[in-house]
Amino acid sequence: MQKIVIIGSFPGYKFSDSEIKEIENSDIIFTGRRNMELVDQINKEKVIIENLEKSTEYIGKLLYENKKILIIASGDPLFYGIGRHVVNTFGENNVKILPHIGSIQYAMSLINESYEDLYVVSLHGRPIKGFAQKIFNRNKAIIFTDRINTPSAIARYLVDFNILNYSMYVFENLGYGNQKIKSIEIPDAVNENFLDPNIVYLKRRNLIRNNYSDDNFIKINNNITKKEIRDISVSEMEIQENDIIWDIGSGSGSISIQACRLNPMGKVFSVEKNVDSYKNIILNMKKFHCDLDVIHGHAPEVLTDLPDPDIVFIGGSSGKIEDILDISFKRLKSGGRMIINTATIDNFMRSVHYFKKIEKSIEIIQANISRNRDIKNGIMMAPLHQIYIIRVVK
């Protein structure tokens, strides 16, 4: 089988001698519509890549006919480009890649910014959901946009999650004659129009320092998992990168938010039946810059459509503890962790009995926390409610 050759390109940069040689040796050239002008004068059969899967299928057919295939990609084909897909499809030994300068290097050179500490996220063809925790307090970030996740839409999202500690730059039509660089405040970008294609650069001005004390959460009647209990419970989760977490009976969302902060690349599903508490979770997640998946409804019924979890936290059950344990534990991935917090002996005993029935060993922490309180002639320690913390590993 002939090797597929992928050549990176960038507007305003000519092909090198070795790249020209590869182009001359090819039978058919595949490229995106935007790059067609780079090869328009070359006397070769050319195919515009409109649908990646269909183009890949066609390339496979042509390779079977021993045709020499060349692909013109944008920038570095292995950085959010077509390179990975082609290598995964046809094998690393059947692909030759000649990279080029990309939009990141070019953009950073225009504003004389180093980028060894740059965080890169692509919202091109991807949902913006979860972006808040990914970007939170990063030093520098480049965001690849699309026609839905435009610079204006990104700015609107950042305003909604109160992430305003960045200077914002928008690079428009990089490499073309009408190239523009706009330095703009995030709120001002919400209603601004930008040329497409573009990328967004965010440079942090200062750190956001959140106060995670109980009093700083929006809640009903002081109904919140106390900070010391949160710290123990989240520690017992042993959160790993990309974990899927269920927080059942989420209340104010404090456990979800603390877990989200430790798991920015994963997903946290906050399940809450009380409509006012549900609204508070949404307010808290925006206050603390965490884009949670918040679900209003009763467990275990609403758990059906959720992805299988790596971690399940149960903070409330409304009398359905056995049903919630049964469904959650069956759905929990192998090696997954389940944490149950309860203040009542009744739910504690029902949980212990459930795991005894299925012959699963458990770990129990009995947490008795006291906090200092000023009195007339000194300080005394005032106890919080005793909490049982049950941990099970599947």
- In tens digits, what is the pLDDT along the chain, a chain of 394 residues? 789 999 999 988 889 999 999 999 999 999 998 888 888 888 899 999 999 999 999 999 999 999 999 999 998 999 989 999 999 999 999 999 999 999 999 999 999 999 999 999 999 999 999 999 999 999 999 999 999 999 999 999 999 999 999 999 999 999 988 999 999 999 999 999 999 999 999 999 999 999 999 999 999 998 899 999 999 999 999 999 999 999 999 999 999 999 999 999 999 999 999 999 999 999 999 999 999 999 999 999 999 999 999 999 999 999 899 999 999 999 999 999 999 999 999 999 999 999 999 999 999 999 999 999 999 889 999 999 999 999 999 9
User: Could you give the residue ranges of the DSSP H alpha helices within the chain?
Assistant: 17-25, 36-39, 52-64, 83-90, 103-110, 131-135, 151-160, 186-189, 227-237, 254-262, 275-287, 321-331, 345-357
Predicted pLDDT of residue 2:
83
Specify if 209 maps to a domain: no
Q: Nearest to residue 347, comparing CAs of 362, 328, 325?
A: 325
Predicted pLDDT of residue 40:
81
CA 235 to chain centre: 21
Cα–Cα distance between 9 and 162 in angstroms, integer? Answer: 38
Number of domains in the chain: 3
Amino acid at 123: L
Give the domain range for residue 361.
214-393
Q: Which among 43, 78, 101 is the end of a domain?
A: 101
- Provide the CATH number for the domain around residue 136: 3.30.950.10
Same domain, 347 and 222: yes
Cα–Cα distance between 348 and 189 in angstroms, integer? Answer: 52
Backbone dihedral angles phi then psi of residue 221, each to the nearest 5 degrees: 50, 45
Per the CB < 8 A criterion, the answer to whether 379 and 372 are in contact is yes
Distances (CA, A) of 61 to 4, 26, 185, 391: 13, 16, 50, 54
Same domain, 93 and 128: no
In sign, the C-alpha dihedral spanning 159, 160, 163, 169 is: negative
Same domain, 167 and 93: no
Q: Which among 74, 101, 128 is the end of a domain?
A: 101
For the chain, state the CA radius of gyration. Answer: 27
Specify if 295 maps to a domain: yes
In sign, the C-alpha dihedral spanning 100, 105, 106, 107 is: positive
DSSP-derived letter for residue 142 is E
Per the CB < 8 A criterion, the answer to whether 73 and 65 are in contact is no
Same domain, 296 and 320: yes
Same domain, 188 and 229: no
Same domain, 268 and 294: yes
Per the CB < 8 A criterion, the answer to whether 384 and 358 are in contact is no
3 state SS of 32? coil
Residues 6 or more apart whose Cβ sits within 8 Å of residue 287? 162, 218
Cα–Cα distance between 314 and 320 in angstroms, integer? Answer: 11
Cα–Cα distance between 213 and 275 in angstroms, integer? Answer: 23
Predicted pLDDT of residue 222:
87
Same domain, 193 and 239: no
Same domain, 287 and 165: no
Angle, to 10 degrees, between the axis of helix 83-90 and the axis of helix 52-64? 40
Q: Which among 158, 177, 204 is the end of a domain?
A: 204
User: Could you give the residue ranges of the DSSP H alpha helices within 288-380?
Assistant: 321-331, 345-357
- Provide the CATH number for the domain around residue 360: 3.40.50.150
Specify if 380 maps to a domain: yes
Same domain, 340 and 307: yes
Predicted pLDDT of residue 13:
87
Q: Nearest to residue 72, comparing CAs of 35, 101, 28, 18?
A: 35
